[in-house]
Amino acid sequence: EKPVLFKQELQNEEAKEGKQVRLTCELSKPGTPVKWMKGDTVLTASEKYEFKQHGTVAELIIRDVKSVDA
């Protein structure tokens, strides 16, 4: 079985404090589980973080962006 690869890697995004930012990446295989991390910490769905996945595209939405989210 072929390994899952990034067809489109994560890009840097800028957002103003208090707003939201959307990060997306595209994978080579649809429905592949995605784990979002900040450093060594696995992010979990909450009021702050929302995860979406449509086919090969995975999205992370960060609400109420602060400088510590960089």
Per-residue confidence in pLDDT tens, the chain, 70 aa: 788 988 988 888 889 999 999 999 999 999 899 999 999 999 999 999 999 999 999 999 999 999 998 8
pLDDT at 2: 81
pLDDT at 37: 94
- pTM score of the predicted model: 0.86
6-62, CATH topology level: Immunoglobulin-like (2.60.40)
Query: How is residue 69 annotated by DSSP?
Result: G
The burial of 3, by beta-carbon neighbours within 10 Å (0-12 exposed, 13-18 middle, 19 or more buried), is given as: exposed
User: By C-alpha distance, which of 8, 5, 50, 62 is closest to 32?
Assistant: 5
pLDDT at 1: 75
